Amino acid sequence: MTDTAHRLPAPTRDVLAELRPLLDALAAVAVQGKIPDPQLLARAVAAQPALSALAGDPRTGEPYSRSVLRVDDQVEIMLARWRPGHGCAPHDHGGAGGFVIAVEGDFDERRFTWAGTQLAVAESAVRQRGTVIEISPEVIHDMSAPGGGLSLHLYSPPPAGMRVFDLQRAEVLELVGNYGAWIPSGEHRRTPFAAVAPQQPVIWVAHTTHYRGGSAEFAVAAATMGRELAAAHPDAEVVVSGLHRKADFAAELARFTSSGRVISQLHLISHSGMYGPMFGSTDWPEQFSPHEWQDMTIPFAADGQAFFHACRTARWFTPFFADVFGVATFGNHNYTTVSARKDRFAWAGRQPTARPSLYLIAAPGRKSHGWAGSMRKYLGCAAEPMVHSSPAAAQHERSYDRVADLYDRAYADIRVRQAEWQWVAGRLAATHAELGRRVRVLEIGCGNGALLRALDDNGDIDFAVGVDSSAGMLARARERNRDRTRLRFGQVSGPALDVPDDHVDVVISFLSFRYLDWDPVMAEIRRVLAPGGRLWVVDMVEQPTRIRDLPLLARSAAAHLRTRRERPGFTHDLATLTNHPEWRKMLQHNPIRAEHEYRWYFGSRFPGAGLQTLTASRAARVVAFDSGPLAKGQTTPLTYP
């Protein structure tokens, strides 16, 4: 502090002249960032009578007096006369360094360190008369003088202010001006400790515990990774934790945040769907949707990194994660497997969890490369390196806006998708007959409105609402349907639907469910459906052909050839769309999900209802889901935060 708290007693010129050489020598040492040598320290203690004459008495209620002997642009020299049995509050020195000399009496000193968002005593010591106490810029300490005392303080550069820490209220006061190291009276701006505590980096190694097989192996692999990271980063705190549900992941993040810790590395060992890590179990699968990730806060350090040790995470999820959280993110392009070695595949035996160390590596296998890939793996192929994704300089284009014209031209008549169209149209006609009235419909992901237009032609619709996130597609829908009074269209962003409760009889997602935030939008679907309402989903999924699928594959191929022959214009327009660079770029950020993701999801949310396969190709197929009549309520328990 640079202001004098008390007027100095009027010293004689002889006393000032006597002290000046000592003060000059002490100041030179402080400016150099050093402490006095024994000879200089002895001189300072011997000057106690003269120094004592310069020190005023403490004011009422204050633990010590402050008498500034010198202050310039390099150093501040201050005397403190201490009231017996009193002490100051914990404080720092405004970024200054220096030293304190116990000129008279003994002092009790405590030094503090941050323990999360609280200050904890790191060291306690008795500083006897003649002791020098070194002060570095980061020191937070307090002092008391049981029998009273006199201390000489030198700080360089002169502090313009300091922080005083109120331990009882866990708050810090920023003091500038005529204040000492105690809690001043009156109103002063206070900041919670949590806002000023240094953030402690942590390496978090998490693994799922119940989703599919391998959870026991995941636990061993996570423990192995934790040991190796601790050895590689001896100064880091490594936390290994098992996670069952999404809520466990969120709760662990909340604990890190509340304790003031930041994540320097996040490692998650898990199974994964196309859109990221899977939690829960196959009986009740859980996955953070893109919308939920975007609403989440993860306390990453400035140089934080994320590693997702799971199948296919690099295809869509890790680039998305890197963009959302602004950190370098790593994932695997192909499938992962448990290995006894980190650098290449080594079979872990029939009881892998009995091994002290296991690793999760990416390697060719039967799922990704067929039987040839499986042979390569078991012959000891090298582990594939994780794929690095950096935050993009610009947001990726995930909507259909740039291909809206091409899509509208190809699918002006949705009946070109004959199998899918017949499945939906047949069910809507049956629902019309069952209800004895026309059907109220909501389509999520309506695109250019072609499906609703065709259903309206059949006379089964009372009214229909089509929603989509693409402004370009909605413009085509409104233009093509401007004369249809039963149809209206609206734009959505995120899972919320601008539709009243109990408003529709049927919700349809036609070739769009893979783009949606599944659990959040499912809550909205259940809200807008009237009692007894239905959900119909038709979508394309990734699934290699199996032997039992060959008859369906043959029928699908024949239907495709028939469409090409009967509708050559559609074939040309479809090829123009699917070969366009903007379409290919858009698909990179809207990948097709695997079939088992749909089976497990719908099987858990709607017990007893299953998927029906409509068409098949070599690596993909179109599946359909009919929930049947639904009682009013949610697909409980919904577990997203």
- Of 133, 137, 154, 152, give the one whose Cα is nearest residue 27: 154
Q: Is 291 annotated as a binding residue?
A: no
506/494 Cα distance (integer angstroms): 20
Helix (H) or strand (E) holding 529: strand 529-542
Strand partners, 441: 464, 506
In this structure, the number of other CB atoms found within 10 A of the CB of residue 189 comes to: 9
Strand partners, 115: 118
Dihedral sign for Cα 602, 608, 614, 616, please.
positive
The SS3 of residue 42 is helix
In this structure, the number of other CB atoms found within 10 A of the CB of residue 139 comes to: 16
Task: Please say whether the beta carbons of 467 and 477 come within 8 A.
Answer: no
Residue with tokens 């402490």: 35
444 CB-near residues (< 8 Å, 6+ apart): 467, 492, 497, 507, 508, 509, 512, 513, 516, 521, 525
288 CB-near residues (< 8 Å, 6+ apart): 246, 249, 276, 277, 296, 640
Using DSSP bridges, classify how beta strands 504-510 and 529-542 pair: parallel, antiparallel or unpaired.
parallel
Q: Is 141 annotated as a binding residue?
A: yes
In degrees, to the nearest 5, what angle opens at C-alpha 265 toward C-alphas 264 and 269? 160
Chain centre distance of CA 631? 36
- Of 287, 280, 275, 285, give the one whose Cα is nearest residue 209: 280
Task: Please say whether the beta carbons of 276 and 288 come within 8 A.
Answer: yes
Q: Is 91 annotated as a binding residue?
A: yes
Annotated binding site: which residue ranges?
Answer: 91, 93, 141
Q: Which residues fall in the annotated binding site for Fe cation?
A: 91, 93, 141
